[in-house]
Amino acid sequence: MPEPQQAPERIDPQSLADYLEVMTKAVFQSGMSWTVIEAKWDGFQEAFEGFDPEKLAQFGPAEVDRLTQDAGIIRNRRKIEATIDNAVEMKALAEEHGGDFRAYLRSHGGFEETVADLRRRFRFLGDFGAYYFLYVVGEQVPPHDEWRASREKA
C-alpha cells in the first residue's frame, strides 16, 4: 500500500512574487513528478528572477529562447511563456484590487468561483493546480479528499 502523500507546506505570501512562485510550481508540475520539480526548483528561482512579476513582465522572445536552453529548469516553451503571461495577468489583477492580489482572490464569493476565474485568467492552471495554489497561499479550500471525490464524479 503506498504511503499517503504529505500535504504541501502553506505559506503566508508577503509579495506578488510569492504568489507567482506558487502558481508557477503548479504550472510546471502538471504532467511531471513532484520529485523532478523540487529537484530543479532552485534553478527555477534563479531563471525566473525570484519570480518578480515586474521583471518577468518585461521578458520577451530572447529571454524565452534563453530559458528554453537552461538545463536548470524544465525547458517547456509553452509553460515558460505561460509563466511570463501569468506574471503580467497577476500584476494587472493586483493593480485592479488596490495592489492586493489577496483581495482579488477573495472577490469571487467562494472556492468554486475563484477556481473558475483562475482557470480562465491564467495559462496552464487547471482544477488541481488551482486547488494546490489556493491551498499553499493560505486561502480557504474544501478538504482535499472531498474535493477530489467531487471532481471524480463530475
Tell me, yes or no, if the pTM score tops 0.85: yes
- Whether residue 107 lies inside any domain: the answer is yes
Tell me the mean pLDDT in the region 88-100. Answer: 97
Whole-number Å distance between alpha carbons of 123 and 13: 21
Can you tell me the distance from the alpha carbon of 3 to that of 140, in angstroms, rounded to the nearest whole number? 26
Q: Write the CATH number for 145.
A: 1.10.340.30
Query: Residue 139 domain-assigned?
Result: yes
Structural domain for 146, as ranges: 16-153
Indicate the number of domains in the chain: 1
Taking CA atoms, 29 is separated from 6, 79, 108, 109, in Å, by: 16, 10, 26, 28
**pLDDT for res 5:** 66
Residue 11 included in any domain: no
Give CA separation, 100 vs 16, 76, 90, 93, 130, in Å. 8, 30, 10, 8, 19
Largest CA distance in the chain: 49
Closest-CA residue to 26 (of 70, 90, 104): 90
- Per the domain annotation, does 104 fall within a domain? yes
Residue 154 DSSP code: -
Average pLDDT (133-148) is 91
Give the confidence band of 1 by pLDDT, cuts at 50, 70, 90: very low
